[in-house]
Structure 1
Amino acid sequence: MITFTTVYEFAATPEKVWELFLHYGFNDRFYKQELKYPEWYLAEMRESGDSVLRKVVIESGRQLPGPVAKLAGSGFRETEEGEFKPKAGTGAWTRTPSALADKWTEKAAIRTEPVGDAGSRMTVDFTVGMDVFGVGGLLESTWEKRLREEWDALAEAMRKTLG
């Protein structure tokens, strides 16, 4: 199992960052147009007190390493379930794969904080674990690389949108 952290800064308040991060239209465009995911859809999103509960289904279309692709089969997708508390500046989610769910752990915690008068910092702590004999380490490093690239692209798209 590996853990890693990504940190991004924005020239916008944490409130504006959360508003964009949870915005359906922004996410739909980003995942389908920027990342070219064959499938990204919002299965559920509702507010519960100060929390936003969100469930998203994702098919990235990214190639898995050969041995893992055979184990996962075609049409590999993930279901992301998260709880976000924008007022508190925190959130967390887990992704469950359509195959190998008993051997695959992918979760993250996100937090935002103000920086200066009108800026913010977003920190995301990831945990990725792939308990697949012989290829677990390969899959973990592949997934870490993929997540870093996608989050770097997400941060850049957010910066462009926030101005």
Structure 2
Amino acid sequence: MSDPKGPIIVWFRRDLRLRDNPALYWACKSDHPVLPIYVWSPEEEAPWEPGGASKWWLHHSLAALKKDLQEDNLDLVIAKGPSLETLKRVVKETRAVGLFWNRLYDPATLARDTEVKTHFKDQGLNVRSFNGSLLYEPWEIETKEGNP
């Protein structure tokens, strides 16, 4: 059950930045506390699981993001586990009212995001995903004939 004063969770994934981050921007514009979270779920990255260099980059990028967020009085939660199950636990523990993230467009991630969005909308949360990396959404591009 959410709390009317509960936080909006901002789910960071591959966009570990504060600037030009619509999910973070709109969460901060709300009248709710903001809870940034990164969920480490390498099994969901298959077949592109991160190698050593990617893990090194991720570690240092998360450390920098955590430091930048702390300068804005926000604390980055870093969790490990399947995304949906981890987010369910955090939503329940914090009595969150919303979950925001920036979209990714690979098929496996789109399927997972659809599952996450459906689950939390069914629970009554304010669930919003944003275009955080493209000039146009793929479904907005048409040929001269009006076809996708």
Per chain length, whose mean CA-contact separation is higher, i.e. which structure has more relative contact order (CA < 8 Å, sep 6+)?
2
More strand by share: 1
Q: Please report the TM-score for the alignment, with normalisation by the length of structure 1.
A: 0.30
Q: Please report the TM-score for the alignment, with normalisation by the length of structure 2.
A: 0.32
